[in-house]
Amino acid sequence: MTVRMKRSFPDAAIWLALVAGALVMLFPIYWMAVTAVRPRAEIFEALVSLLPGRVDWGNLAELWRRQPLLGWLTNSAFIAVVAVIITVFVNLLCGYTFAKFRFPGRDILFFAILGALMIPIQVILVPEFLITAWLGLLNSPWGVILPRAAEAFGIFMVRQFMVSIPDELIEAARLDGAGEFRIFLRVVLPLSRPVIAVLVIFTFMWRWNDFAWPLVILTDRDSFTLPLGLNLLRGEVNPEWGQVMMLALLSIAPMLLIFLAFQRQLIQGIASTGLK
């Protein structure tokens, strides 16, 4: 009995530590949600309770009336979904090329792509803006999507995963007369579902939450995304904090839903790609 109690004590301590850490991480989200539905008069009270006196959806109604909320949601969704389709496909093609083809300068080019991971976005912001302006993509969602059509991290992750795909499968498909693109679609992609799941989740998260690049490209308020709209509300002289919290809650809700729905695929994909 004593031995069993000694063994259970460390387990209980670990569980208590995990629960405490989860509560600390979740409390800001809870406070944001409570503030979003709290009446305006309660926000500025001297002693604010953890629970609102009553649930008031006036912040959402006022936000809908004052700001182009539907447009911001539509812009964010369009940019995130289209960017996922383009970026994931480009990263898969590039990673497959680096993993299964041999050509002069392949390793040098791959190390150059890895080096791009160490370059902050602020360093390339001006030349990237000039190129985007020259293409006539300013104040357009395509100006946000196309410059990030390929990600160095995504290419690296795909390449590391596809190295483990047996070359014999590809050679057998070639002997059967399949073309390279057909091999990629029919043989490689079905085996790459774990890394595709990770790419989709990460890319959607990055594009949905992206702030710096859309801030430079999008100048019209109606073309803003949710992060830009949130920055606009927060930067007002007398910001309505209930509306700010409501918009922040709307902006993180898709991320929470996607993580809760696909957390198993995300963990399996990261484990299979060897990422730490």
Q: Using CA atoms, how far apart are residues 240 and 36, in angstroms rounded to an integer? A: 10
What is residue 276's predicted lDDT score, i.e. its pLDDT? 44
What is residue 79's predicted lDDT score, i.e. its pLDDT? 94
What is residue 47's predicted lDDT score, i.e. its pLDDT? 66
First to last CA, the chain: 39
What is residue 121's predicted lDDT score, i.e. its pLDDT? 81
Instruction: Give the residue among 203, 202, 247 at the shortest CA–CA distance from 79.
Output: 203
What is residue 87's predicted lDDT score, i.e. its pLDDT? 93
| Torsion angle (degrees, nearest 10) of CA 113, 116, 121, 123 | -130
* Ranges of the chain with pLDDT below 50: 1, 275-276
What residue has token string 């390929």? 150
- Ramachandran region of residue 170, left (φ > 0), alpha (ψ -120 to 50) or beta? alpha
What is residue 169's predicted lDDT score, i.e. its pLDDT? 86
What is residue 239's predicted lDDT score, i.e. its pLDDT? 76
What is residue 267's predicted lDDT score, i.e. its pLDDT? 72
CATH architecture of 58-273: Orthogonal Bundle (1.10)
Instruction: Give the residue among 103, 67, 40, 117 at the shortest CA–CA distance from 222.
Output: 67
What is residue 14's predicted lDDT score, i.e. its pLDDT? 83
What is residue 76's predicted lDDT score, i.e. its pLDDT? 93
What is residue 269's predicted lDDT score, i.e. its pLDDT? 66
